[in-house]
Amino acid sequence: MLQQRIASGHSGDETTVYEHLLITFNLSEFGEFTIWLFKQFVALPLLPHRFDDLVAWLQIEEEGKKDLHNALLFTEETGWLQREDDGFLMHPMLQQVVYYHLHPTDKDVKAVIEIVTISLELDQTKDNPIEKLF
């Protein structure tokens, strides 16, 4: 879908949806912490994530909680994140835009990879895979 060609109404030139999104959603206005947070949301599952869960998963220290809170509210106000079921989530299309702009590495999202891996581990003697994944 991102590679679908579209015609520009004002110039008649063709471009891709992907190119149009990259131009429309510019990340240069955001500070270092917000950029770091965006990288984390690229790696998080497409579910709403509560503030307390984000603090734990992203290993936010006590003094960083205010920065996280402010960044979440600011990005919600600007439309980059949306609030749903008492949590925050990034639309899949915006996740793609952020990924293409920032190219997060495994090192950038190490904490997210670790927490998702741990949460998906199954104890064969008692865990039901369906309940664990859904």
In order along its 134 residues, the chain shows pLDDT tens digits of: 445 554 455 555 556 666 666 667 678 888 999 999 999 999 998 899 999 999 999 999 999 999 999 999 999 999 999 999 899 999 998 998 899 889 999 999 999 999 888 877 777 777 776 666 55
Apex 28 CA angle, 27 and 30, nearest 5: 75
pTM of the complete model: 0.76
CA R_g for the chain: 17
C-beta separation of 39 from 104 below 8 A: yes
Say what angle helices 110-120 and 32-43 make with each other, to 10 degrees: 30
What b/e readout covers 11-38, taking b as 16+ CB neighbours within 10 angstroms?
eeeeeeeeeebbeebeeeebeeebbbbb
Q: Which helix (H) or strand (E) holds 14?
A: strand 14-16
Which tokens in the block code for residue 1? 């879908």
Q: What CATH number does the domain located at 30-133 have?
A: 1.10.10
